[in-house]
Structure 1
Amino acid sequence: MAALGLAVPALLWLCLGLGSGRAMAAVPLVIWHGMGDSCCNPLSMGYVRDLVQRRIPGIYVLSLRIGSSLVQDVENSFFMNVNDQVREVCSQLAKDPHLKGGYNAMGFSQGGQFLRAVAQRCPSPPMFTLISIGGQHQGVYGFPRCPGESSQICDWIRKMLDLGAYTQAVQEHLVQAQYWHDPLKEEDYRKKSIFLADINQERGINETYKKNLMALKKFVMVKFLNDTMVDPPISEDRLGLQQMDKAGKLVFLGVEGDHLHFTEEWFYTHILPFLQ
C-alpha cells in the first residue's frame, strides 16, 4: 500500500477547521457482530475496529456486547430473543454520551438486520448511515454451515428449525428462527415470525418504521457473491424503499468471496468512504 503524502494544501486545512486549531470530529461508529461471534474477537470485530481506527484517527467505535461477558455475548447470538436484544441496544445507545449527536452503524451477517431494526424502532440518537455486510434482510431458509467451533450448537438449531421454526417456544428462544423465512409456509411466517415479519412490514404498514428508515442518509447493503453460509444469499425488498432509491440513499455492493470474507483493500476502498 502506498504511503500517504504529508503535504496538505492550506485551503484543505482551513476547510477542516485545522487552521484555527479545531478539527472536525469523526462520526462515531456502532458495529454489531453476527452469529457465533462476540463484540471483541481480535479476528473479527476487533479486527474491523482496528481497520477503522487506523484510517480515521480519534473515531469512537462501539462494538456491541449483548450480555455481561464475551461468553454470554456469543450465547445470546444464538438464544436470546432478538426483540429483547434490540431493546437492550437501543438503551445502550441512548445512554452513551459519545453518540448523542448521532452515529453510523455497521452490521455483520445477522447484525445487519438487527441494526436495521434499531434504525426503524429507535430514532434517538439518530443513525446516519447503515452498512449491512452480508445481512439477511428477507430472512433465510437453510442453514448450510456454522461459524467457528459451533457445529454442535448448529446441529441442534437445525433440528429445532425442522421440528417447528414457527412454534412459540422456538420463536422466543432461537435467534435464527426469528429470521427464518420458509417460502412453503408463507402464511405461518407472516403470522408467527416475531421479528423479521414485523420489521419487514409484512403484517401491515407501520408508518413510524417507514419514516425512521427513510431518515437514513445512506443504506448500504453488501452481498457476498460466493456465500455458502446464507441460504438464500439474495434478499428481496418488501420495505417500499423506492423513495430512498430515487433519492440516491440506497447502495448495493457485491464482493467476491464467501460469507464475511473480504480484504483490507476492499474494505478501505468500498466501505470506509461511507464512514468519513
Structure 2
Amino acid sequence: MAFPRLIHLLLSSALLRWPSPASASPRTEPLPLVMWHGMGDSCCNPLSMGAVKKMVEHKIPGIYVLSLEIGKTLIEDMENSFFLNVNHQVTLVCEMLAKNPQLQHGYNAMGFSQGGQFLRAVAQRCPSPPMINLISVGGQHQGVYGLPRCPGESSHICDWLRKTLNLGAYTKGVQERLVQAEYWHDPIKEDLYRNNSIFLADINQERGINETYRKNLMALKNFVMVKFLNDSVVDPVDSEWFGFYRSGQAKETIPLQNTSLYTQDRLGLKEMDKAGKLVFLAAEGDHLQFSEEWFYTNLLPFLV
C-alpha cells in the first residue's frame, strides 16, 4: 500500500559481506536486495520506492537493489497492484529472479504491505535463486477483512474496491481480476473463503498440505514480520503478525500461536518459531510509518 512519508526514514551505512564461490579468494560484496511495493504504489515512484532504492544504494556501497516493476510503465505497475492476478504476478517475479545473474547466489527480500505476502509466495513457490531473509513490513499474512483506508482517504478506486469486495469477493470474476479479493479473508464464512480464494488460501495451505511450500519457507534464515501498532489501513492489524479473527466472528482476534495454521504447522511456522527463525517486531506508527532510528536498530541487522 502507499506510504507517502516512508522515504526519509531509511537507511544506514552497514555493509553486507558475501563471499563469491567463483573467486579464488573471498571478495567483499553486499548481498542483493529485492523489494516489492504495496497497493497503489510503484517500483520507482521518486517519492517512495525509487527514493528508498537510491538511499539503500547510497548507504550500502555496491549493493544491487531490484525494486520489482510489474508492467512496462510506472502507471501500469501501479494499476497492476489492483487489477493483475496475484498468482500471475508471482509467476512473473519468479521468472525475473531466475533469469537475473545478480541474484543467483541468494538475496534478501523486503516487501511493503501486500508486497510482503507476495514475496512470501515467492519464497514458498520459487526456491531458486534462494531467498535468505524475508522482511515483511506491514504485510497481511492472514489476509484482510476490511480496507479502512487505501491508499488515500478520497481514492475513487478504494471506494469502488470496498463495494466490490463487500458484494462478491469470492466470485470467480472478482477473484481472478481484483488483487485485494485474492487475500480477502472472511472469518464469518470460512468455508467460502477456503474453497474460493485463489491465492491466500493456497499459500496458507487451507485446502491441503503442499510439502514443497513448507520446505521452501522453512529454508529461510529469518522471517521478520513488522506490525504497526496504530495501523489505520490493515484490518485486522494482527494479520501483520499472522494473527487473525477467531473463526465465526469479526471482533476478537487471536495470535498466530493460537491459530490452526500454527497448531497444525501447515507452513512450518511452529518449527521455525522454535528454531528462532520467526521475528515479531512492532512499530508505534500508522501503516508503514517508522523512524529512521527504529529501522537502523530493528531491520538493518537482518541485512548484514
| Structure 2 residue identity aligned to 1:162 | N
Contact 1:52 1:272 in 2 (8 A): no
| Residue 7 of structure 1: aligned partner | none
Contact 1:35 1:109 in 2 (8 A): yes
Partner Cα distance (1:125, 1:106) in 2: 15
Q: Please say which structure displays the higher CA radius of gyration.
A: 1
Partner SS, residue 251 of structure 1: strand
1:152-231 matched pairs, under 5 angstroms: 152-231=156-235
Cα deviation per residue 1:33-90 (whole Å; 9 max; x = unaligned)? 0000000112221232233223321100000000011000000000000000000000
Partner Cα distance (1:132, 1:33) in 2: 11
The answer on 1:56 being equivalent to 2:60 is yes
How far off is 1:268 after superposition? 1.6
Partner Cα distance (2:124, 2:32) in 1: 19
How far off is 1:29 after superposition? 0.3
Q: Please identify, of 221-230 and 48-57, the stretch whose mean Cα deviation from structure 2 is larger.
A: 48-57
The answer on 1:251 being equivalent to 2:255 is no
Q: CA RMSD in A?
A: 1.8
Aligned residue pairs total: 259
How far off is 1:248 after superposition? 1.3
| Structure 2 residue identity aligned to 1:56 | I
1:115-130 matched pairs, under 5 angstroms: 115-130=119-134
Partner Cα distance (2:53, 2:34) in 1: 10
Contact 1:128 1:216 in 2 (8 A): yes
Partner SS, residue 253 of structure 1: strand
Contact 1:116 1:130 in 2 (8 A): yes
| Structure 2 residue identity aligned to 1:32 | W
The answer on 1:269 being equivalent to 2:297 is yes
How far off is 1:165 after superposition? 0.4
The runs of 5 or more residues in structure 1 that have no matched partner are 5-14
Contact 1:108 1:134 in 2 (8 A): yes
How far off is 1:150 after superposition? 6.8
Contact 1:105 1:127 in 2 (8 A): yes
Partner Cα distance (2:134, 2:268) in 1: 17
1:95 is aligned, of 88, 96, 99, to 99
1:7-18 matched pairs, under 5 angstroms: none
1:131 is aligned, of 113, 135, 140, to 135
| Residue 9 of structure 1: aligned partner | none
Cα deviation per residue 1:196-253 (whole Å; 9 max; x = unaligned)? 0000011111100000000000100000000000000002242341111111111110
| Residue 40 of structure 2: aligned partner | 36
| Structure 1 residue identity aligned to 2:279 | V
